[in-house]
């Protein structure tokens, strides 16, 4: 019955995305290509609301069925809904960066309150309870995860496919570790995203929008902290699984900060954006990221979870070639904008 429940979740997301596409077309909620865009065809936006609604509406069913704890459920509901509403309002107009950031930190505080603060951190075989320092670091981590996911939602299917991969990989690792109870929420999210991906797969018929991307970022971050409460090494498993997004977004941000760019302004200088322009399509880049995830990041994450590889060492091994790829595809480099565009 649980698998039927997940399939129903995907179906709801699929139908909601279709309805949201019609709504966006009727209300002219369209992303029109410009010099900062990675797409060339006007496309409706805001479809990520389908992910939010299908996941949050059905999440309490897992808690009622005793498959999730109620504190964790409340943490997900409050933080996820708050970020989704903030993103929805921003999609329909504009909210100043300072107010968005205030909302992001408020969501992080809410989630950490229901999770009893930050989990212990395992580094080189030693586990640290970092107290208030850990809480501050966890807040920054959740806010960064939220924003980097927004940054990385720039070409068709990429953010959706990444969320499905990370959630399914984490569920697999939980099952192999005997922690299957942790898998239910990630599995539910993967099916909610899969329904949306039908419409978002290249060439996309609708975009996710800030409501969807911000929601996915904060939710995945909360999942990773929940996992670390069960086993401190699992935080590194999540950081490895999300390596492509973390490296591209962080490398690009640092390079732009060093150069003195206004990092809150729209740009298209991420490695995946340069790659999509180089190859002329989104599909090869989206599929290549999926391949890197499956053949490189997942095996390393499995080694950390099951074979005793130190988490920090696993991150270093996983990230070295990702940093090289980011450099190769000029992540954060100055964009050359065609003045005729």
Q: Where are the alpha helices (DSSP H) in 234-295?
A: 234-241, 243-259, 271-279, 283-292
Token pair, residue 200, equals 């978002």
Torsion over CA: 106, 191, 171, 184 (sign): positive
Token pair, residue 102, equals 């205030």
Give pairs for 72-75: CB < 8 Å, separation 24+. 72/114, 72/115, 72/185, 72/226, 74/114, 75/110, 75/111, 75/112, 75/113, 75/114, 75/115, 75/222
Residue 273: is the preceding peptide bond cis (ω within 30°)?
Answer: no
**Binding residue positions for Mg(2+):** 150, 210
- Listed in sequence order, the residues at least 6 apart from 144 whose beta carbon sits closer than 8 Å to its beta carbon are none
Q: On the CB side of 314, how many CA atoms lie within 13 Å of its CA? A: 31
**Binding residue positions:** 150, 210
Within the chain, strands assigned E span: 30-31, 43-44, 121-123, 126-128
Residue 333: DSSP 8-state: P
The residue length of the chain stands at 341
Whether residue 328 contacts residue 278, with contact meaning beta carbons closer than 8 Å, is answered with no
Q: Residue 121: beta bridge partners?
A: 128
């Amino acid at each position: 019955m649980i698998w039927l429940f997940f399939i129903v979740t995907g179906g709801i997301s699929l139908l909601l995305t279709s309805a949201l596409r019609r709504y966006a077309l009727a209300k002219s909620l369209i992303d029109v290509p410009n010099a900062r865009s990675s797409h060339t065809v006007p496309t409706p936006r805001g479809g990520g609301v389908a992910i939010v609604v299908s996941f949050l509406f059905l999440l309490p069913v897992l808690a009622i069925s005793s498959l999730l704890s109620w504190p964790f459920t409340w943490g997900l509901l409050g933080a996820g809904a708050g970020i989704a509403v903030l993103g929805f309002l921003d999609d329909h107009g504009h909210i100043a960066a300072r107010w968005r950031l205030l909302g992001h930190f408020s969501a992080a505080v809410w989630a950490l309150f229901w999770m009893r603060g930050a989990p212990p951190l395992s580094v080189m075989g030693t586990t640290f309870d970092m107290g208030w320092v850990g809480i501050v670091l966890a807040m920054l981590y959740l806010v960064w995860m939220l924003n980097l996911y927004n940054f990385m939602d720039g070409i068709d299917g990429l953010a959706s496919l990444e969320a499905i991969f990370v959630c399914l990989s984490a569920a697999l690792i939980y099952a192999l570790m005997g922690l299957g109870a942790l898998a239910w929420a990630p599995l539910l999210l993967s099916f909610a995203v899969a329904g949306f991906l039908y419409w978002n797969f290249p060439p996309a018929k609708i975009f996710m929008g800030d409501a969807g991307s911000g929601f996915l970022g904060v939710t995945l971050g909360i999942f990773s902290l929940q996992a670390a409460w069960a086993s401190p090494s699992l935080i590194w498993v999540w950081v490895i699984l999300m390596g492509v997004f973390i490296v591209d977004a962080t490398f690009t941000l640092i390079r732009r900060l060093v150069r003195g760019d206004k990092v809150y302004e729209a740009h298209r200088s991420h490695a995946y954006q340069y790659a999509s322009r180089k190859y002329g399509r989104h599909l090869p880049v989206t599929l290549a990221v999926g391949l890197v995830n499956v053949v490189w990041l997942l095996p390393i994450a499995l080694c950390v979870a099951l074979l005793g590889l130190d988490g920090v060492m696993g991150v270093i091994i996983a990230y070295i070639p990702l940093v090289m790829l980011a450099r190769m595809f000029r992540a954060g480099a100055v964009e050359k904008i065609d003045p005729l565009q």
